[in-house]
Structure 1
């Protein structure tokens, strides 16, 4: 009882010296201590050091509705690779599916349609039928992005569709004459890249591109900076210039190129802004690279190499320490700790004779979804860890 009679700020300070095992044992002393130790404020420091607890590097909490102690429990399973595997959805023909995860809704492109599924809280599996289907493309959907008000998709026929998420209305954006490989959209701004070797800048208020930038190479990936002042393009690297270039949104000029030693064919397939100055990229050269846009753009800050020399099709980060990547062979998903250079965990999702890349992956604090050529795979990390009860 003497412990509980201390002022709360003093007690918080004392508990800050304990690791997660000691906190868990302390919580078993009595009900009063259990209630105090279970507070998020006690676990916040520890949560920052674990993978995928929803606490970003700047302190933002992505999952405030889930107690931090529960997230630290699950984070141990991410670190140790403890999970249940499932295949919630299969299809007969080989596709190039894309995913977006928003809360308890998963958006999945299949051929010319994008289907929205509610996720079951008990298992993370998809509800039997989609509650919304976005259609209108004449070819397969290659890529799509979500905003608060719209779903924007690019198809293999070169068409971009802007679907309203609050009505049945959709608008077609005309401009590209070959498949739209990549899209990004923020605050009414849309950037698209295509096999037709152009990048186009659009707004939600116009059906024609505001500007077209000739790239002289196929464009595989684009990303708009969180500041909205610039965007980055990743090309196939088949010409004599860097595949990664930063462009000013207003002046439409190339601000700088990233890197200087890309070999021919080292195309950039995916990129993610983690902050206005931190950019992660991956692609055919088998590396994940971290670029700090505040310092020398000719050299990346850190890099992680895929150990089996496979191209990396997609990446996602948790905003703090974890990176998840999808490889080009046998559906391999890897988990990386940014504080280490070696791969932390890997999961081979496909055992088919015909190898499939992981075309896209998305994760929450408890589940990871990976889209392969003929199936959607699910990894559920909500298992009982050893040390926290």
Structure 2
């Protein structure tokens, strides 16, 4: 909490605008557009909703294929499965745990419509290569930048590089409003349709701008707007986004320094951030030596009041993933890294003393 959230919520209440697209929503739109360079930003009630909008915008049809990593949250796949598409799961890189750009081209088929890179832990995928592949094959790129607010690739904000991007402001993210997200439209040809789809398939936004004398049903859409109270809360967070990021980066760096001796001993591997990526310290994770019992480590930490957790169960091995998607190749790295990963506690206000204790406990749990 930044301290201004409830003040802005009170202002929204006094202004008698509680539904979507009020003054605070507009402030958030402008901030995202100016900070990312996107053609248009539209708040949504979740990142899941933003991803579902991308599938509608790209007119994804039953049987179409969409390339994505298996090591991601279910929303990445669900958004396209809802339109009848088939997620094609491609392995991840060993260093960043991002979609391995070297494997994408071999996974393309005549039915492929889009590539969905997921910027894991706020560290960018190799977007130059991905965008080049997409251009050569006539595909669209949807960036799942749920974890990528305030992160960039070669100076360009995550979410603003592909044709479309999606942010999350869920309470587990860096900048939050409880539940919430945003669609970033970077292809100007899709901007007007994005407004229509978000407004239940109507041109209501054009009506309020005075561009049409009445609004009507134009195409398939749904209600993807958050309420104004949510936007008011988010506005307080966005105003402090840089300071939030700076504080998280300081905690991330302290972990990184503390854990260097454990990496040198071969106990674990620390995160790798390529030089061209400016991350946002969304999470700090470690990859345990394969011979170490991860569940023992997690249980030991929990017994000492440290809430360390693992992350995704790969989608290709899940019941729904087996039913709706298909794996391209053995996904060896995905399987290996997902079984080794532990996320350490990370939040604004985490003290160095707490981090010191966490690392000491981690060392004891991995060596005893």
Shared fold (TM-score, shorter chain, > 0.5): no
More strand by share: 1
Task: State the TM-score, normalized to the length of structure 2.
Answer: 0.26
Task: State the TM-score, normalized to the length of structure 1.
Answer: 0.25
Q: Whose relative contact order is higher, 1 or 2, with alpha carbons under 8 Å and at least 6 apart?
A: 2
Greater gyration radius: 1
